[in-house]
């Protein structure tokens, strides 16, 4: 790799139970969060003279699925360019050749660096509510529209994948499960942390872009209620929680289900559900003026259009941005930002061995270095952070890591391996 002498200087440091191999410019590494997909630490970048975040993916080369996720996350992070989405400042590896990179053990980490990293501080409900629903939802939706405009479905939206800086800047994180919406491609059912999982995912129906809108509705509801809306213990209980509150869906919806899933769902108790006035009463909203009473009504209306069991009748991100609760903050520059250019249109249809995925990732790193050398990486100076392969740093925020706070009101499930009612041996296998 054609880096100058300084850039070739790496060192290893233990951070918690993990070892990070990073450039010497990154010092004072400290753990700030961990989850099923990786470990995040903060560091000080002596070149940029600011804090950055470093994410180390868990076992990226353990198998083909993990390797594909690592490649997909790197490719998509390189493509997106929106103020409300994680960006990439740099990508590099301590390995000096493809052969050396190929010899890397399967458990050697791939590190990607977001500009912000979630910090699980769980702020008090009152402080969260004072900022979150009205002020953050439009920016959240702007970021999602940017993804959807390029055919990217995030698929793992949850509070811990959203971070908010003290100046209310919002970023969407984590593209490990994101994918392009290729026509005719059977999408995997294991997506989205359980509490934020759309009915079509729970029921193994396949899904489209508005699977993300269900997750947004769950997050918005959580910000309003200060607790998780559908806290299912497993995917069976998750479905029960949904229909208990929203009601059993129509026969029209039932007919869209796989026969075995339909048999199970139709044999569940029938629920009428609650009105959105009951689920989100006025007491949850500021009511000191007629304007705020109107805003409460608008918020309920938006939630009622997002939290629709039948995805064909659920609002799209474009429609959500035009909703009266949202469009008061409408900013054409953010809403109508040019879509990211996805060069690999059939990214998710690829099937490679782990070694082949490694080679593809290595080529992406070399491509990034070449673009950096030629000055074609998107408009720096807005330093977002840095990314690392087998010991590389990630994008940083424009201010201190300590300026970032999590939007999560309760801990999210760190490891959720269940999938849908159609998983394993069939929809009833979960009922043994």
Whole-angstrom distance, CA of residue 65 vs CA of residue 50:
35
Determine the pLDDT at residue 390.
Answer: 44
In tens, the pLDDT along 385-424 reads: 444 444 433 333 333 333 333 333 332 222 233 344 443 2
Residue 88 in tokens: 């990439």
Q: For the stretch 373-397, what's the b/e string if a residue is b when 16 or more beta carbons lie within 10 angstroms of its beta carbon?
A: eeeebeeeeebbbbbbbbbbbbbbb
Looking at residue 306, its pLDDT comes to 98
Domain range summary for the chain, segments of one domain joined by +: 119-348
Q: What's residue 159's pLDDT?
A: 83
Q: Which of 45, 156, 174, 418 is catalytic?
A: 156
- Residues 6 or more apart whose CB falls under 8 angstroms from that of 346 comprise 180, 182
Give the residue from 384, 383, 407, 405 showing the smallest Cα distance to 32.
405
Question: Under DSSP, is residue 18 helix (H, G, I), strand (E, B) or coil?
Answer: strand
CATH domain 119-348 topology = Transferase(Phosphotransferase); domain 1 (1.10.510)
Nearest-CA neighbor of 91 among 111, 109, 106?
111
Task: Determine the Cα–Cα distance for residues 138 and 317; give it in Å rounded to an integer.
Answer: 10
Q: What is the mean pLDDT of the chain?
A: 72
Q: Which of 397, 404, 405 is nearest to 50 (CA)?
A: 397
* Token pair for 122: 């769980």
What is the pTM for the complete model shown? 0.75
Cβ neighbour number for residue 357 with a 10 Å cutoff: 24
Handedness of CA 64, 65, 69, 70 (dihedral sign): negative
pLDDT given at position 246: 98
Contact in structure between 156 and 212 (CB atoms under 8 Å): no
Q: Which two tokens stand for residue 238?
A: 């998750």
Q: Strands 26-35 and 18-23: what pairing?
A: unpaired
Task: Tell me if residue 17 is catalytic.
Answer: no
Model pLDDT, residue 184: 35
Tell me if residue 75 falls in helix, strand or coil: helix
Q: For every one of its 432 residues, what pLDDT tens digit does the chain have, with 9 covering 90 and above?
A: 444 544 467 888 898 888 888 888 889 998 877 766 677 788 888 887 877 777 777 777 888 888 888 888 788 777 778 888 877 777 767 777 888 776 555 434 334 444 343 433 334 333 333 444 556 788 889 989 988 887 888 878 888 778 776 566 788 876 544 444 443 333 344 444 789 999 998 999 988 899 999 999 999 999 889 899 999 988 899 999 999 999 999 999 999 999 999 999 999 999 999 999 999 998 888 766 566 667 889 999 999 999 999 999 999 999 999 999 988 777 777 777 776 666 565 665 678 898 998 888 888 888 887 887 776 654 443 333 444 444 433 333 333 333 333 333 332 222 233 344 443 223 322 322
CA distances from 237 to 50, 214, 248, 268, 421 (A): 45, 17, 14, 11, 10
Q: What is the DSSP string of 189-224?
A: S--S-GGG--HHHHTT----TTHHHHHHHHHHHHHH
Q: For residue 64, what are its two tokens?
A: 């083909």
Percent of residues, the chain, with pLDDT higher than 70: 66
Are 385 and 113 a contacting pair, CB within 8 Å? yes
Tokens of 199: 């009915």
pLDDT tens digits for 4-16?
Answer: 544 467 888 898 8
* Residues β-bridged to residue 21: 12
Q: Which helix (H) or strand (E) holds 40?
A: strand 38-45
């Amino acid at each position: 790799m054609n880096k100058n002498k300084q850039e070739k200087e790496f060192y290893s440091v233990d951070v918690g139970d993990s070892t990070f191999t990073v450039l010497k410019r990154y010092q004072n590494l400290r753990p700030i969060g961990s989850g099923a997909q990786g470990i995040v630490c903060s560091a000080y970048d002596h070149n940029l003279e600011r804090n950055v975040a470093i994410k180390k993916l868990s076992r990226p080369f353990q198998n083909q699925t993990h390797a594909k996720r690592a490649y997909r996350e790197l490719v998509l992070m390189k493509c997106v360019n929106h103020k409300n989405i994680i960006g990439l400042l740099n990508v590099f590896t301590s390995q000096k050749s493809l052969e050396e990179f190929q010899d890397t053990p399967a458990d050697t980490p791939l590190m990607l660096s977001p500009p912000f990293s979630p910090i699980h501080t769980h702020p008090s409900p009152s402080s969260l509510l004072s900022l979150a629903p009205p002020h953050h939802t439009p920016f959240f939706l702007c970021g999602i529209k940017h993804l959807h405009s390029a055919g990217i479905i995030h698929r793992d939206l949850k509070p811990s994948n959203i971070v908010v800086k003290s100046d209310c800047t919002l970023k969407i994180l984590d593209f490990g499960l994101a994918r392009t919406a290729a026509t005719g491609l059977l999408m995997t059912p294991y997506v989205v942390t359980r509490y934020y999982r759309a009915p079509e995912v729970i029921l193994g129906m396949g899904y489209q872009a508005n699977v993300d809108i269900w997750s947004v509705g769950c997050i918005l509801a959580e910000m309003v209620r200060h607790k998780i809306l559908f806290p299912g213990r497993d995917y069976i209980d998750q479905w029960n929680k949904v229909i208990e509150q929203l009601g059993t869906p129509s026969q029209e919806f039932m007919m869209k289900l796989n026969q075995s899933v339909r048999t199970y769902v139709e044999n569940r108790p029938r629920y009428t559900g609650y009105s959105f006035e009951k689920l989100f009463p006025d007491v949850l909203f500021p009511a000191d003026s007629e304007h705020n009473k109107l805003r409460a009504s608008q918020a309920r209306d938006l939630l009622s259009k997002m939290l629709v069991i039948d995805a064909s009748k659920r609002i799209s991100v474009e429609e959500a941005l035009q909703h009266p609760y949202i469009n008061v903050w409408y900013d054409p520059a953010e809403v109508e930002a040019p879509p990211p250019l996805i060069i690999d249109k059939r990214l998710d249809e690829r099937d490679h061995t782990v070694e082949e995925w490694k080679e593809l990732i290595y080529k992406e790193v070399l491509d990034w270095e070449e673009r950096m050398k030629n000055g074609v990486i998107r408009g720096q100076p807005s330093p977002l952070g840095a990314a690392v392969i087998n010991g590389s740093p990630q994008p940083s925020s424009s201010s201190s890591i300590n300026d970032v706070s999590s939007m999560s009101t309760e801990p999210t499930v760190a490891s959720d391996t269940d999938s849908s009612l159609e998983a394993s041996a069939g929809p009833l296998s979960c009922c043994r």
